[in-house]
Each structure stands twice: as C-alpha cells, then as structure tokens.
Homo-oligomer: A and B are copies of this chain.
C-alpha cells in the first residue's frame, strides 16, 4: 500500500460512475482480451451499468464469456481517480429492455439495430491518487 493512493468507498465509486457517460469495457473474445470505449448509464440502485451495442464482435464476445471489467478515470491538476467495476454482462430483453430504452445513453455512432446490455456489477473498486507532479 502507498499512502498517496486512497481507496474510495463503494458509494463514492457509484457516484463517480453515475457522473460519467464514457468508460472502457474489457471483455474476452476467443481467448483474447479486448478493450473498447462505450457510452453508458449507471443505475446505482440496481448496481447495473447499461449500454447499447450493434450486433457484432463485442456482443459476441460478451455472450460467449460474460465476465467483464469496466473502467472510468479522470486526471486533474493534482489528483487523479479511477473506478473499476467488475461483473457479468447480460443482454436485456422483454420488460428489462423496454425500460432501458428510455435511458439517456449517447452512443458515438448511430445504430439502427442495437441491443441493450446490462453489466450486473459484483465488485466495484476505486482509488484516488495524489499526483507526483502538477500536470501541465
């Protein structure tokens, strides 16, 4: 442990997750690890993160191996923080999908045919760092 990095309580991790709309999803695909940026919405009450994706390799990877990691971070002048959520990704359907359709998810690309995916978060960890030097 290092006294310059402070672990964040779960409630603060969820507040930070709810404050952002872009994160990075790590997932398995055919024994490879992949990382992609995604726009998402956090639902702290349900301990879920929701995003949408077009049919393709990202979704395929998640369906084949639902274990995922999701990361957000921010660097300021003197401090930085990062939050990592771990969990399992599931494709939403039925009522779950209909409810999630109204969430303010802002994907980078217009996707006419998309599916909604929820990450059921099982573990969240966050750290705040006092930077070793002021950022320029």
Interface SS majority for chain A: strand
Q: Which residue of B lies closest to A28 (CB)?
A: B33
Contact with A108, one of B34, B109, B111, B129 (Cβ below 8 angstroms): B129
CB proximity to B under 8 Å, residues A85-132: 86, 106-111, 129, 131-132
Closest CB-CB distance, A85 to chain B, in whole Å? 10
Count of chain A residues near B, Cβ 8 A: 37
Does A22 make an interface contact (CB < 8 A)? Answer: yes
- The reply to whether A129 and B109 contact each other, CB–CB distance below 8 Å, is yes
CB proximity to B under 8 Å, residues A7-60: 22, 24-28, 31-37
A70 partner residues in chain B, CB cutoff 8 A: 35
Contact with A67, one of B32, B75, B132 (Cβ below 8 angstroms): B32
Q: List 19 additional A-B contacts (Cβ < 8 Å) besides A25-B35, A35-B84, A106-B132.
A: A4-B109, A5-B108, A22-B75, A24-B73, A26-B35, A32-B69, A32-B86, A33-B33, A33-B67, A33-B69, A34-B84, A35-B35, A35-B70, A35-B71, A36-B84, A80-B108, A109-B129, A109-B132, A110-B132
